[in-house]
């Protein structure tokens, strides 16, 4: 009897255990990533930028490719290679929904809307990312939430409007001349989706949407494809398993392409330049090394193959927009450059065959030109922003060790994307110092400026948060510098030119002013003793209320005396 009861209890426990195992795990509920303050920053940046753009739109056709592009927009045709099918469909949509105004103005409204939305998304990302940085750094966690929200919103709005008011972004968003600027907002949209996936890596739908938008970016401007290695690095830093399988896929493609290059049966592979082959081999070798390191770190392989297939499918769907070109060509629109309705014309347009193949910069054989190109990239940033903002944009790199893993991965990935769209692009384009080449290629780096504007926003946040949490320390530091400059200023006011030029000037009495009740009291001290005294003693002689000496005070500017008489520097060194 007891045996039967124990067996029944065991059976019941086993059934309960099986039922619990069969019950699917409850989905993880993740709070919304973006807060109300983040959306507020986006609305402010978008509204300000679009209002300015609408006010400054070109009223009619302009120069360069304006006529060709507007014709292609109105008839949903095919502009110059590679055809820009996504832009053609988007711009045609705006000519359709706006029943008033000329064609150029309608297309400009649509393009300015996309650019303004990109600035708004940038403000959204900077605002939320700034909060994540503050919460992830131990020294900045003590900041009150009120000040944190203010700093995040201000940094986001400043970063968004800074990009929108940039020299190239603003100039090319209010006219229809160049299509490369149109890729900036879509690149930012892809990064926004990547950030959302980074916030909750188990929600893969945002990663898949990011790959779809990234495929669209390739159809907008092919130079954005150079950022693919950095995007893969960002994915690998967020998810080691997914990055491992992604790099293994790179390795497989690398060996397959090497095989076809050895066979010589693919003309496009045979026409690769030395620079393109170098980049291809570097990416392949780096993928092999990265996949091996992640394999040893995770201990498994190909556990994320379903996600890899889905990512590739979504990216391919985005790139398949190119198939619109032969379809549009079959309708015989007035603008169909290259006749892509034929197989030969389609691949000729897709490969930009009419422009020929240009050799990139050889960094090792021509380091002088590469150094000039680095200056060219930095100078382009200074034209869009300023040299001060360039320094602020590098500040997040100094906080990398203090960040958490997630925020560190994001900053490294974004920096890698900027390097790909900036330094790597200038190598591929092989920009020359002549003005025609330099001015023509400047607009192609606007996408890198958008990424750097994000780093500027993060740098402003870290700078403001550090000052707010270390106010007393920074205040004391500035006060010491102020005391030194204050004492030197009063010394310059109280010293006459003749005092320092006559022989034996170190021991000659120096007239100074010290507070005496409500007036001044004359004192005489030697310059040598005066210079040896500490800045705080100088401040004691000359407090703030006595800083403004009478206009009739006998003396000249000491700094001017130093400039005119360099030998005084030697005297000061010997004091």
pLDDT tens digits, one per residue of 194-248: 999 999 999 999 999 999 999 999 999 888 999 999 999 999 999 999 999 999 9
- Nearest Cα neighbor of 122 from 54, 38, 181 is 38
Distance separating alpha carbons of residues 265 and 68, to the nearest angstrom: 36
Query: Residue 335 phi/psi, 5° resolution?
Result: -115, 105
Which tokens in the block code for residue 181?
A: 């600027």
Q: Is 134 helix (H, G, I), strand (E, B) or coil?
A: helix
Task: Kindly give the parts of the chain with pLDDT less than 70.
Answer: 1-28, 353, 356-357, 478-575
Q: What angle do CA 121, 36, 453 make, to 5 degrees?
A: 30
Which tokens in the block code for residue 102?
A: 């000329």
Distance separating alpha carbons of residues 349 and 340, to the nearest angstrom: 7
- Nearest Cα neighbor of 461 from 79, 132, 104 is 132
Which tokens in the block code for residue 415?
A: 């920096």
- Element containing residue 525 per DSSP (H, E): strand 519-525
DSSP letter string over 449-464? HHHHHHHHHHHHHHHH
Residue with structure tokens 């909750």?
A: 200
| pLDDT at residue number 117 | 95
Produce one character per residue of 117-144: b if its CB has 16 or more CB atoms within 10 Å, e if not.
Answer: bbbbbbbbbbbbbbbbbbebbeebeebe
Close Cβ partners of 349 (under 8 Å, ≥ 6 residues apart)? 78, 81, 82, 83, 325, 337, 338, 340
Which tokens in the block code for residue 325?
A: 């070109």
In 342-409, at which residue ranges do the beta strands (DSSP E only) sit? none
- Element containing residue 520 per DSSP (H, E): strand 519-525
| pLDDT at residue number 82 | 86
Distance separating alpha carbons of residues 394 and 458, to the nearest angstrom: 9
| pLDDT at residue number 521 | 41
Distance separating alpha carbons of residues 380 and 126, to the nearest angstrom: 22
Distance separating alpha carbons of residues 506 and 531, to the nearest angstrom: 10
Distance separating alpha carbons of residues 38 and 157, to the nearest angstrom: 10
| pLDDT at residue number 26 | 53
Q: Do 270 and 227 form a contact (C-beta atoms < 8 A)? A: no
| pLDDT at residue number 80 | 82
DSSP 447: H
Integer angstrom CA distances of residue 444 from 33, 99, 179, 373: 32, 32, 9, 14
Distance separating alpha carbons of residues 173 and 50, to the nearest angstrom: 10
Q: Do 157 and 120 form a contact (C-beta atoms < 8 A)? A: no
Distance separating alpha carbons of residues 7 and 542, to the nearest angstrom: 97
Helices (H), 399-431: 405-419, 425-429
Q: Do 75 and 335 form a contact (C-beta atoms < 8 A)? A: yes
CA atoms lying within 13 Å on the CB side of residue 231: 22
Which tokens in the block code for residue 255?
A: 């060996």
What residues form DSSP beta bridges with 88? none
Q: How many residues does the chain have?
A: 575
């Amino acid at each position: 009897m007891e045996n039967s009861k124990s067996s029944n209890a065991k059976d019941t426990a086993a059934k309960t255990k099986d039922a619990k195992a069969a019950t699917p795990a409850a989905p993880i509920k993740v709070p919304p990533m973006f807060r109300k303050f983040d959306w507020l920053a986006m609305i402010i940046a978008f509204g300000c930028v679009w209002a300015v753009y609408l006010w400054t739109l070109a009223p009619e056709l302009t120069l360069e490719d304006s006529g060709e592009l507007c014709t292609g927009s109105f008839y949903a045709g095919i502009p110059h290679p590679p055809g820009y099918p996504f832009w053609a469909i988007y711009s045609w949509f705006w000519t359709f929904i706006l029943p008033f105004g000329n064609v150029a103005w309608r297309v400009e409204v649509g393009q300015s809307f996309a650019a303004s939305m990109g600035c708004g998304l940038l403000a959204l990302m900077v605002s939320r990312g700034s909060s994540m940085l503050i919460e992830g750094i131990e020294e900045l966690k003590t900041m009150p939430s009120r000040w944190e929200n203010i700093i995040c919103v201000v940094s986001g709005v400043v970063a968004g409007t800074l990009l929108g008011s940039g020299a190239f972004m603003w100039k090319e968003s209010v006219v229809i001349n160049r299509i490369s600027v149109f890729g900036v907002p879509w690149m930012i949209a892809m990064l926004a989706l990547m950030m959302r996936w980074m916030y909750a890596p188990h929600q893969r739908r945002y990663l898949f949407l990011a790959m779809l938008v990234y495929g669209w970016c390739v159809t907008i401007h092919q130079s954005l494809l150079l950022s693919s290695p950095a995007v893969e690095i960002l994915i690998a830093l967020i998810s080691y398993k997914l990055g491992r399988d992604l790099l293994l896929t790179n390795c497989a493609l690398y060996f397959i392409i090497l095989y076809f290059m050895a066979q010589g049966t693919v003309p496009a592979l045979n026409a690769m330049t030395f620079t393109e082959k170098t980049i291809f081999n570097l990416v392949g070798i780096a993928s092999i090394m990265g996949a091996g390191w992640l394999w040893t770190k995770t201990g498994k392989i190909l556990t994320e193959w379903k996600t890899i297939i889905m990512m590739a499918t979504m990216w391919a769907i985005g790139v398949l927009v190119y198939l619109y070109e032969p379809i549009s060509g079959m309708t015989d629109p007035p603008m169909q450059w290259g006749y892509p309705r034929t197989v030969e014309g389609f691949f000729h347009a897709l490969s930009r065959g009419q422009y020929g193949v240009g050799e990139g910069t050889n960094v090792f054989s021509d380091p002088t030109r590469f150094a000039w190109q680095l200056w060219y990239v930095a100078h382009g940033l200074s034209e869009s922003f300023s040299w001060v903002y360039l320094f602020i944009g590098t500040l997040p790199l100094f906080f990398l060790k203090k960040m958490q893993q997630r925020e560190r991965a994001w900053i490294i990935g974004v920096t890698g994307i900027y390097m790909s769209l900036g330094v790597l692009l200038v190598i591929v384009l092989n920009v020359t110092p002549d003005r025609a080449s330099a001015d023509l290629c400047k607009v192609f780096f606007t996408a890198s400026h958008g990424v750097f504007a994000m780093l500027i926003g993060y740098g402003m946040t870290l700078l403001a948060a550090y000052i707010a949490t270390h106010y007393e320390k920074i205040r004391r530091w500035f006060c010491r510098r102020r005391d030194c400059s204050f004492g030197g200023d009063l010394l310059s006011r109280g010293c006459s030119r003749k005092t320092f030029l006559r022989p034996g000037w170190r021991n000659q009495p120096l007239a100074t002013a010290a507070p005496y009740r409500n007036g001044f009291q004359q004192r005489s001290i030697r310059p040598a003793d005066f210079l040896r005294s500490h800045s705080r003693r100088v401040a004691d002689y000359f407090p703030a209320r006595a800083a403004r000496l009478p206009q009739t005070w006998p003396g000249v500017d000491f700094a001017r005396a130093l400039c005119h008489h360099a030998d005084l520097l030697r005297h000061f060194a010997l004091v």
